[in-house]
Amino acid sequence: MFAIIDCNSFYCSCERLFRPNLSNKPVVVLSNNDGCIISRSDEAKSLGIDMGAPLFESRQLLKKHDVAVFSSNYHLYGDLSMRVMDTLRFLSDDATYRCVEVYSVDEAFINLDHLPLNALEDFAVRLRDVVFQWTGIPVSVGIASSKVLSKVANRLSKKNKKKTGCIMVLDDADKVQAALEMTDVSDLWGIGRRYARKLKEEYGINTAWQLKHMPMEWARKNLGGVVGVRMIRELNGEPCIRMKDPLEKKKMIATTRMFGKPVFDLPSLKEAVATFAARAAEKLRRQYGAATGIDVFVVTNGIEGASYEYNPQHHHRYFTMTRSTSDTGELIRIALPLVESLYRNGTKYVKAGVMLTGIVPDDALQGDLFSVAVKNQNRALMQAMDNINFSMRDDMVKYVSSGLTRNWKMRQEMRSKRFTTRWLEVYVVRAG
């Protein structure tokens, strides 16, 4: 059996932790650049505020109902996420069973094969209560025989919190049937917009229960090949999506941002790309990796003076290196000519990014037959830089090409303090 533990309205719950006066009030958290609404408390949901709604469209509604609005504060959420995950690992004896998979910042799967069926409900209650007691974050727990079914259970547990207490265990066929019958295909984990529409319009399949009874061959043809087959099996309670090894490294690392305001000039664009390359390299070194490919992209949105229209166009350039590297300076040197070659005078740029691919472990750095012995990658320098930036302040030490003014920096006008990760911003209970 699998459990999925999901933090309720995670970002909002984090904000509320330090603003207890907001505990029954509507709260929303915005995406980077204060663009869209990406987390909503229950009270905000019931006001009809949609997930992903652009802020400017919801301003009226937010004001009318006195909704508390926060910019996203990833230092805070990341730290609280760690505490929740640590608690889950502790409660499930992860050191012994190696059974916790952190799936996202606010979700984790736990493999429960070592527990008897009749112990599942109690275990779920314990998870919910102890996590709340130790971290202050409310969670929902769904348990079933496959990951897809556990997601179904989790979702339903939140639908009617009073009745379920945010816990649902699908441990017999009747419960599974009832759950699948009340689940729309579009709410299944793995069925997105496209497939949901196709299923409904072309095949008249509306519920998860209907989908469960479709033949494998049909799924192979019409639902993305092996992915579709897996979906049918999972719906039938047969686990096909394995637990991921927590030691697995990322295969791609990206750092991308919308600009706070549009950029028209090349120097600013280069500054941004250099900054993103530096950030990406930092992430790369954190997993002891080195990259062989770098992809730089910019996003344009019409030309200066043209009337506003949201019609983003991506342009990118790729470069494959003869040997992998994790050196910030080297990556910046490669990235800058790429962005120069992309730049067109008079174009309005709204976003840019750097993606590192072809990631290999950095102890297996492949030498290059045609260049002199590798100069140790400036590794000592990189390490010193990372240490300073980690312990003091992001960007305490940086490359000049990343710029000093940074006019393109994103907007974050309503960010709360980094209560748990910055000494200067620690929560004050009593002054003096």
Looking at the Cβ atoms of 29 and 176, the one nearer to DNA is: 29
Q: How far is the CB of 119 from DNA (least distance, A)?
A: 26
Q: Which residue has the tokens 């929740």?
A: 84
Looking at the Cβ atoms of 25 and 200, the one nearer to DNA is: 200
Q: Any residues with CB less than 8 A from the CB of 355 and at least 6 apart, and which?
A: 252, 253, 254, 256, 280, 294, 295, 296, 297
CA 128 remoteness from chain centre: 22
Q: How far is the CB of 48 from DNA (least distance, A)?
A: 17
Q: How far is the CB of 424 from DNA (least distance, A)?
A: 24
Q: Is 3:109 a contact under the CB 8 Å cutoff?
A: yes
Looking at the Cβ atoms of 164 and 412, the one nearer to DNA is: 412
Q: Is 297:272 a contact under the CB 8 Å cutoff?
A: no
Looking at the Cβ atoms of 25 and 418, the one nearer to DNA is: 418
Looking at the Cβ atoms of 189 and 343, the one nearer to DNA is: 189
Q: How far is the CB of 122 from DNA (least distance, A)?
A: 26
Q: How many C-alpha atoms does 195 have within 13 Å on its Cβ side?
A: 21
Strands (E), 112-268: 139-144, 167-169, 253-263
Q: How far is the CB of 210 from DNA (least distance, A)?
A: 16
CA distances from 77 to 52, 74, 285, 309 (A): 18, 5, 22, 33
For residue 139, give both structure tokens: 């969670």
CA 418 remoteness from chain centre: 19
Looking at the Cβ atoms of 141 and 188, the one nearer to DNA is: 188
Q: How far is the CB of 194 from DNA (least distance, A)?
A: 3
Looking at the Cβ atoms of 90 and 319, the one nearer to DNA is: 319
Sign of the alpha-carbon torsion through 371, 372, 378, 380: positive
Q: How far is the CB of 40 from DNA (least distance, A)?
A: 13
- How would you class 303 by CB atoms within 10 Å of its CB: exposed for 0-12, middle for 13-18, buried for 19 or more? exposed
Q: Which positions lie near DNA, rule CB under 7 A?
A: 31-33, 35-36, 38, 52, 54-56, 103-107, 151, 188-196, 224-227, 250-258, 262, 279, 283, 293, 308, 310, 318, 320, 350-351, 353, 358, 410
